[in-house]
């Protein structure tokens, strides 16, 4: 089909119903725009799993706290549409905030326990906004397949749980993190790193890689691995402020003191005004 841009909920619902009636399967790639190669990898994976890929672009105000960077979050709609089309995506859905959240809007979706640790401990309203917008996009687009990146590890687990709990007949796919050559995880916010901070940013990946190597070498105490990670970040990213380094079980996000099967290390580090998150499964 030819590349199509939909901008209203009614238009996308009508198009999705028509595709379903024709027997086409639909994959959804939800984004907030300012696309990078990580997003495009999701689109390409979606094209292998479904007949049609719908990429959504919506900077979701509900997941930003008042003091966060909603107004300065990077936007590049024209560039995004070129990238989406070049990647082979057939449909781009770009709804307006007033249509997603009209003035009388008051319904939200909440996942209880998985949203409490890690990002949730520092951003208590964040995941309510994430789950609500993704639930709305699922209802609008009616996908058979949904694709998310593991870079936002907690978000992926939360959305996977929501999809299962609400009985959506959607195949939920979590894709690997796409990185720069020096290991920095791709993120739309990376463009805000100053040259000095960009040189320090790979310290997150270096700390995670060291944690994985320590686990492979037999170190099981999370506290010892965390201490070593902090030393690496202090040495290689001296301007960095660590929000957290956490060891959790992959699916449940329960904290663990010992490295066991399916242990994930997550961290959040601030470099100037830019907050970077990353993670790695180390066992």
Q: DSSP string of 184-233? A: PBP-GGGGG--HHHHHHTTHHHHHHHHHHHHHHTT--BHHHHHHHHHHHH
Domain boundary among 118, 140, 175: 175
Same domain, 208 and 83: no
Within a domain: residue 181?
Answer: no
CA pair distance 283, 277, nearest whole angstrom: 19
Same domain, 154 and 206: no
Same domain, 212 and 99: no
Instruction: Determine the pLDDT at residue 155.
Output: 98
Segment 6-20 mean pLDDT:
98
How many helices, marked H, and strands, marked E, lie in the chain? 10, 9
Per-residue pLDDT at 179 exceeds 90: yes
Instruction: Compute the mean pLDDT over every residue in the chain, rounded to the nearest whole number.
Output: 97
* Count of C-beta atoms within a 10 Å radius of residue 82: 12
Within a domain: residue 180?
Answer: no
3-class DSSP state of 251 = coil
Within a domain: residue 258?
Answer: yes
Instruction: Determine the pLDDT at residue 28.
Output: 99
Task: Provide the domain count of the chain.
Answer: 2
Same domain, 134 and 240: no
Same domain, 145 and 261: no
Within a domain: residue 218?
Answer: yes
Within a domain: residue 182?
Answer: no
Within a domain: residue 170?
Answer: yes
* pLDDT bracket for residue 156 (50, 70, 90): very high
Tens digits of per-residue pLDDT, 65-116? 988 889 889 999 999 999 999 999 999 999 999 999 999 999 999 999 999 9
Same domain, 239 and 168: no
Same domain, 89 and 145: yes
Within a domain: residue 140?
Answer: yes
- Catalytic residue status for 126: no
Same domain, 162 and 122: yes
Instruction: Determine the pLDDT at residue 72.
Output: 87
Q: Which CATH number fits the domain that encloses residue 149? A: 3.40.50.620
Same domain, 171 and 221: no
Selecting among 39, 67, 126, 228, the annotated active-site residue is 39
Per-residue pLDDT at 34 exceeds 90: yes
Query: Phi and psi for 2 in degrees, rounded to 5?
Result: -75, 155
Domain that holds residue 229: 188-281
Instruction: Determine the pLDDT at residue 269.
Output: 98
**Above pLDDT 70, what percent of the chain?**
100
> E-assigned strands of the chain?
4-6, 26-31, 52-57, 91-93, 145-149, 171-175, 240-249, 263-271, 274-281
Tens digits of per-residue pLDDT, 252-265? 999 999 999 999 99
CA dihedral (224, 229, 230, 231) in degrees, to 10, reads 90
Domain boundary among 116, 140, 175: 175
Per-residue pLDDT at 23 exceeds 90: yes
Segment 206-232 mean pLDDT:
98
Q: Which CATH number fits the domain that encloses residue 198? A: 3.30.1300.10
Per-residue pLDDT at 150 exceeds 90: yes
């Amino acid at each position: 089909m030819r590349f199509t841009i939909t901008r209203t909920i009614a238009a996308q619902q009508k198009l999705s119903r028509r595709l379903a009636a024709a027997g086409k399967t639909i994959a959804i790639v939800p984004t907030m725009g300012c696309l990078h190669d990580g997003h495009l990898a999701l689109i390409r994976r979606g094209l292998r799993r479904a007949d049609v890929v719908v990429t959504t672009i919506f900077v979701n105000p509900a997941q930003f706290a008042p003091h966060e960077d909603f107004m300065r979050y990077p936007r590049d709609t024209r560039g995004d549409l070129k990238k989406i089309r070049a990647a082979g995506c057939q449909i781009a859905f770009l709804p307006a905030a007033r249509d997603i959240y009209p003035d009388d809007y008051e319904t939200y979706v909440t996942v209880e326990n998985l949203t409490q640790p890690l990002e949730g401990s520092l951003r208590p309203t964040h995941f309510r906004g994430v789950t609500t917008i993704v639930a709305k996009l699922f209802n609008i687009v009616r996908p058979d397949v949904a694709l998310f990146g593991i870079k936002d590890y907690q978000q992926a687990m939360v959305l996977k749980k929501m999809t299962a709990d609400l009985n959506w007949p959607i195949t939920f796919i979590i894709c690997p993190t796409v990185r720069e050559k020096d290991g920095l995880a791709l993120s739309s916010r990376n463009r805000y790193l100053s040259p000095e901070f960009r040189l320090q940013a790979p310290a997150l990946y270096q700390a995670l890689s060291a944690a994985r190597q320590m686990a492979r070498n037999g170190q099981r105490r999370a506290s010892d691995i965390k201490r070593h990670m902090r030393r690496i970040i202090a040495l290689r990213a001296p301007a960095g402020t660590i929000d957290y380094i956490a060891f959790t079980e992959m699916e449940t996000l329960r904290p663990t003191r010992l490295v066991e099967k399916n242990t994930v290390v997550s961290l959040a580090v601030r470099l100037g005004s830019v907050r970077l998150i990353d993670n790695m499964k180390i066992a």
